[in-house]
């Protein structure tokens, strides 16, 4: 069963250290972005999955996939990223639309933990975002340079969807993403009975955020660049110059 995400206030959250991102490849073609993409960018799902085959746990315990399930999912980490392998429950919270509203989703909330640059809450129908567990003794995402706007690569079968961290969920449950993320991965989007029970890998890059948080094209650009480096096909180092790349507050 899906558990409604927490809508935590962001005021007073700790600032993260400034981010230095690797330089974009010399021959750069901005990818086509959007939640309907079969595979965003040119980094293959198989190459990303090969890099996260093993797990060095960074969480102090394990998470449940849903309320009432056994806790079996660790958060793993490398120098560049943290990752977990879980299910995908549909987060439809934030701005109401034709697909995400109180009628279509009995657990609908008009708020998300993070907000757009115009002060409105996120739009789950249009913005690919993922949900991280609330900070706790089990694991604190902030300790790894992760907060609102952090860039993630979400992998399902042969599909890669770049997303941002856009909401915060229960402290003991993991595996949730927005309607748009599920759509981009080819996963059933119905908030009542959609999602998938397994097979989704969430890779969140450390100290890498986009501003404004709703700029999905910037998330794709930054995510692809970091994914290339993560799998060992990146070129060069230095300060990132992609549109919207940078640091932000939790």
* Strand 196-210 relative to strand 150-156, pairing: antiparallel
- pLDDT by residue for the chain (250 residues), tens only, comes to 455 444 443 333 333 333 333 333 322 233 333 444 446 778 999 999 999 999 999 999 999 999 999 999 999 999 999 999 999 999 999 999 999 999 999 999 999 999 999 999 999 999 999 999 999 999 999 999 999 999 999 999 999 999 999 999 999 999 999 999 999 999 999 999 999 999 999 999 999 999 999 999 999 999 999 999 999 976 433 333 344 455 444 5
Residue 143: partners with Cβ closer than 8 Å, 6 or more residues away: none
pTM score: 0.82
Q: What is the dihedral of CA 88, 89, 94, 96, to 10 degrees?
A: 120
Residue 71: partners with Cβ closer than 8 Å, 6 or more residues away: 61, 62, 63, 64, 172
Query: 95, 166 in Cβ contact below 8 A?
Result: no
Distance, CA of 79 to chain centre: 18
Q: Comparing C-alpha atoms, which of 162, 169, 171 is closest to residue 217?
A: 162
Structure tokens at 230: 């993560």
């Amino acid at each position: 069963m899906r558990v409604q995400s927490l809508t935590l206030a962001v005021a007073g959250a700790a600032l993260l250290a400034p981010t230095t991102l690797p330089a974009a490849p010399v021959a750069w073609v901005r990818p086509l972005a959007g939640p309907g993409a079969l595979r965003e960018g040119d980094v293959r799902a198989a190459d990303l999955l090969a890099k996260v085959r093993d797990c060095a746990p960074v969480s102090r315990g394990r998470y449940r996939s849903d309320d009432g399930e056994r806790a079996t999912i660790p958060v793993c980490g490398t120098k560049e990223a943290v990752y977990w392998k879980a299910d995908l429950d549909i987060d439809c919270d934030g701005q109401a639309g034709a697909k995400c509203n109180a009628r279509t989703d009995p657990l609908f909330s008009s708020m998300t933990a993070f907000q757009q640059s115009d002060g409105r809450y996120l739009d789950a129908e249009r913005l690919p975002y993922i949900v991280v567990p609330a900070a706790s003794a089990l694991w604190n995402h902030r300790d790894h340079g992760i907060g609102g706007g952090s860039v993630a690569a979400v992998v399902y079968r042969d599909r890669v969807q770049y997303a941002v961290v856009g909401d915060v969920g229960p402290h003991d449950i993991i595996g949730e993403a927005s309607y748009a993320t599920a759509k981009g991965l080819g996963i059933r989007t119905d908030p009542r009975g959609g999602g998938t029970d397994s097979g989704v890998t969430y890779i969140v890059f450390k100290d890498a955020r986009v501003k404004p948080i709703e700029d999905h094209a910037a998330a794709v650009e930054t995510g692809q660049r970091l994914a290339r480096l993560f799998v060992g096909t990146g070129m060069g180092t230095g300060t990132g110059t992609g549109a919207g790349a940078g640091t932000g507050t939790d």
